[in-house]
């Protein structure tokens, strides 16, 4: 599965610790991240991470484009709800796209842990069927 990992500045340490704790699950999947978050995760875990631009410079939108094209299976976004973000419209747009396209979105540590435990159990296999249906539709 393709998993996006994003974290606001005050949550970067949390997503690094999360990635270390769940490295055994994350290593089985294709990881994508916004710029600094991806760099830090790679440095701390050695996991290969495809890095987009920094969130404020368009990284959130790049991940959103993958969501809109059914090329992302899960988004883990450790948001900082107590700090104003200059790119808040981009964050809101990404969250809206996840809702529109039925992409699982975890915005905090508790939800992200539930997602990864479910991923390990195979609870997200339905994404394979969604992608197959879309490919079949596009071939018509």
- Ordered by where they begin, the domains of the chain are 2-103+120-139 (3.40.50.1380)
pLDDT at 138: 72
pLDDT at 129: 77
Cβ atoms of 6 and 50 closer than 8 Å:
no
Structure tokens at 139: 């071939």
CA 73 from chain centre, in angstroms, equals: 8
pLDDT at 136: 72
Q: Give the whole-angstrom CA distance, residue 11 versus residue 76.
A: 12
What is the overall mean pLDDT for the chain?
Answer: 92
Indicate the pTM of the whole model: 0.92
Average pLDDT for 110-127: 93
Does residue 135 carry a pLDDT above 90? no
Any catalytic annotation for residue 60? yes
pLDDT at 115: 97
Rounded to whole angstroms, what are the CA distances from 20 to 43, 114, 115?
11, 16, 16
Q: Give the whole-angstrom CA distance, residue 39 versus residue 74.
A: 19
Average pLDDT for 116-139: 82
Selecting among 9, 14, 30, 60, the annotated active-site residue is 60
């Amino acid at each position: 599965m393709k998993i996006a990992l994003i974290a606001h500045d005050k949550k970067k340490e949390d997503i690094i610790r999360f990635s270390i704790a769940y490295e055994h699950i994350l290593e089985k999947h294709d990881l994508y991240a916004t710029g600094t978050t991806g760099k830090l995760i790679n440095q701390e875990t050695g996991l290969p991470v495809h890095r987009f631009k920094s969130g404020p410079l368009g990284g959130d939108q790049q991940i959103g484009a993958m969501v809109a094209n059914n090329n992302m299976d899960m988004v883990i976004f450790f948001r900082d709800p107590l700090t104003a973000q200059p790119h808040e419209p981009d964050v809101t747009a990404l969250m809206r796209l996840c809702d529109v396209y039925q992409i699982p979105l975890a915005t905090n540590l508790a939800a992200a842990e539930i997602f990864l435990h479910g991923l390990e159990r195979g609870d997200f296999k339905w994404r394979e069927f969604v992608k197959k249906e879309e490919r079949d539709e596009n071939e018509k």
